[in-house]
Structure 1
Amino acid sequence: MRTELVSEPGTPGRPNEDFASVGVPASGQGGSLVALDGVTPPRGETGCLHSVPWFTARLGGALTELTLSLPDVPLAEALSRALARTAGAHAATCDLSHPRTPQATVVLARWSAELVEYLILSDSALLIESPGGAVTAVLDDRLARLPRSALASDALVDATVRNKEGGFFTAAADASVARRAVTGVLPRGDVRALAALTDGATRWVETFREGDWADCVTLLRKEGPRALVERVRALERADTERVFLGRSKRHDDATVVYVEP
């Protein structure tokens, strides 16, 4: 099994709000990957005493444990349990009903000798390469499908589309959101490689259009996740006129997990 992981903050010296892990059970059979992209809140009240990195570390740690220790529990149920556990860790001190309570996007994958399972919630990506080289991007595109008018302001997003029917969903305090995730199962023989990317890394394809998803997996296999993140950073620095970035932040936390199970 080959595994490579890189996670880099968007701004040096500022905490990385992403989380990533690859786990292998003591038996050495199978494994799982977790990639979370913490949602940076706008300035102002969040109702919580804790930071986004605190939340992603708690949730990511719980997911790493549960996806390995409970191999027969579906990934959506593992996410639900991890969210409930994380919420319980600060429910007594924080207002978890606040729309800006710490939250994150989620990518999970778990493999055994027979199956590969996956789960995606919000705008991170999971790339699945077949033995023949075809690449499928598994995406939760609900945020991308929203009209720009719905995203005009943070207050409007919170009031009308965040974690609401007809909008988009992130992993926050409500464990039931796990039912909203994109999930699937594939025969193990249909998968040669997996790559989980937060949106700071998917910029290579989605923002700068340097290649398609198959090109992205080829780059990861040949040069590794660090090379992809370095290329994204170079493109961001070169976009001085913000032709590609527009109103997006110059640099974002970027995480890539590449696995050949």
Structure 2
Amino acid sequence: MPGDPARPNEDFASVALPASGQGGCLVVLDGVTPPRGDTGCLHSVPWYTARLGGALTELTVSLPDVPLSGALARAIARTSEAHAASCDLSHPRTPQATVVLARWTEETFDYLVLSDSALLLESPDGAVTPVLDDRLSRLPREALVSDAVTDAGYRNKEGGFFTAAADPAVAARAVTGAVPRARVRSLTALSDGAARWTERFREGDWTDLHTAVRKNGAQWLVDRVRALETADRETRAYLGRSKTHDDATVVRVELPPAG
């Protein structure tokens, strides 16, 4: 859901099944809203997330033997090629996004997370495991004092944090892993605009969030976060946020029993 009805949603979400009907994949991207001013690119963030997300969905399903990091690298390269001739892809604010990616077969479940979106995995016994890339949250407070400071010293830099932008090599920086398919009953992917329920507002832990979405639905979570954001005057003042609400995406997938 867009944070502002007057602005296009910069998130992307898809769930796809291969023609065989076995397995599937999930993609969630959270486009990074740039500050006002030059980004070196003629294109919008939604343009970028639509193309990167479309490429990721296709490649993750059509190339089942390619690791998820390899699929992400190929998708970034394909998207970069689409506007390299017209745009300065070396600009620190060239269009970019956080990534959640999952792929499952009858035997395996693979995952990838890059930057501050979240993936929650529920096992058959109900235990919930969050898959997080927490590098952004571990930055010193002074790293976030301004966009200029963040871009110069920390964005897509060693010792900082990484997003999917124009360099395919960033795919190797993602948090990745694999578990037997039988150990995953369901999954929930969230852009950081929805994950605020846990990360910023402390309404509950990741298990509570997963349970709330299962019981109440994705729209309930977004509505609750919207109400909390509206009341959060102190954080908005500290961060200098120009927008009260962030785009928020929630995707929940229930998997059939393995085997």
CA contact (8 A) 1:104 1:170 kept: yes
Query: Under a length normalisation based on structure 1, what TM-score does the superposition of the two structures give?
Result: 0.94
Structure 1 partner of 2:67: 74
One-letter identity of the residue aligned with 2:221 = L
Structure 1 partner of 2:246: 252
The CA distance in 1 between the partners of 2:174 and 2:228, in whole Å, is 31
Deviation of the 1:246 alpha carbon: 4.7
1:11-43, Cα deviation, whole Å (9 max, x unpaired): 012100000000011111100000000001101
One-letter identity of the residue aligned with 1:154 = D
Relative to structure 1, is the Cα distance of residues 126 and 140 closer, same or farther in structure 2, using a 3 angstrom cutoff? same
Structure 2 partner of 1:154: 147
The CA distance in 2 between the partners of 1:161 and 1:194, in whole Å, is 30
Structure 2 partner of 1:200: 193
Deviation of the 1:238 alpha carbon: 3.4
- The structure 2 residue matched to 1:122, chosen from 104, 115, 122, is 115
Q: SS of the residue aligned with 2:202?
A: coil
Q: How many corresponding residue pairs?
A: 253
1:4-43 maps to which residues of 2 (within 5 A)?
Answer: 8-43=1-36
CA contact (8 A) 1:207 1:245 kept: no
Structure 2 partner of 1:175: 168
CA contact (8 A) 1:37 1:105 kept: yes
One-letter identity of the residue aligned with 1:218 = T
Identity of aligned residues (%): 73
Q: Which shifted more, 203-212 or 68-77?
A: 203-212
One-letter identity of the residue aligned with 1:187 = P
Structure 2 partner of 1:238: 231
CA contact (8 A) 1:208 1:244 kept: no
CA RMSD, 1 decimal: 1.3
Structure 1 partner of 2:105: 112
The CA distance in 2 between the partners of 1:145 and 1:243, in whole Å, is 18
CA contact (8 A) 1:207 1:244 kept: no
1:221-236 maps to which residues of 2 (within 5 A)?
Answer: 221-236=214-229
- The structure 2 residue matched to 1:57, chosen from 50, 59, 66, is 50
**Which consecutive unaligned segments of at least 5 residues does structure 2 have?**
none
CA contact (8 A) 2:89 2:166 kept: yes
Structure 2 partner of 1:4: none
Q: SS of the residue aligned with 2:189?
A: strand
One-letter identity of the residue aligned with 1:20 = A
Query: Under a length normalisation based on structure 2, what TM-score does the superposition of the two structures give?
Result: 0.95
Structure 1 partner of 2:126: 133
Deviation of the 1:237 alpha carbon: 2.5
Deviation of the 1:243 alpha carbon: 5.8
The CA distance in 1 between the partners of 2:3 and 2:173, in whole Å, is 28
Relative to structure 1, is the Cα distance of residues 243 and 106 closer, same or farther in structure 2, using a 3 angstrom cutoff? closer
CA contact (8 A) 2:113 2:175 kept: yes
The CA distance in 1 between the partners of 2:31 and 2:86, in whole Å, is 20
One-letter identity of the residue aligned with 1:251 = H
The CA distance in 2 between the partners of 1:76 and 1:243, in whole Å, is 34
CA contact (8 A) 2:236 2:244 kept: no
The CA distance in 1 between the partners of 2:235 and 2:19, in whole Å, is 49
Q: SS of the residue aligned with 2:139?
A: coil
CA contact (8 A) 1:10 1:252 kept: yes
Q: Which shifted more, 175-184 or 214-223?
A: 214-223
One-letter identity of the residue aligned with 1:162 = R
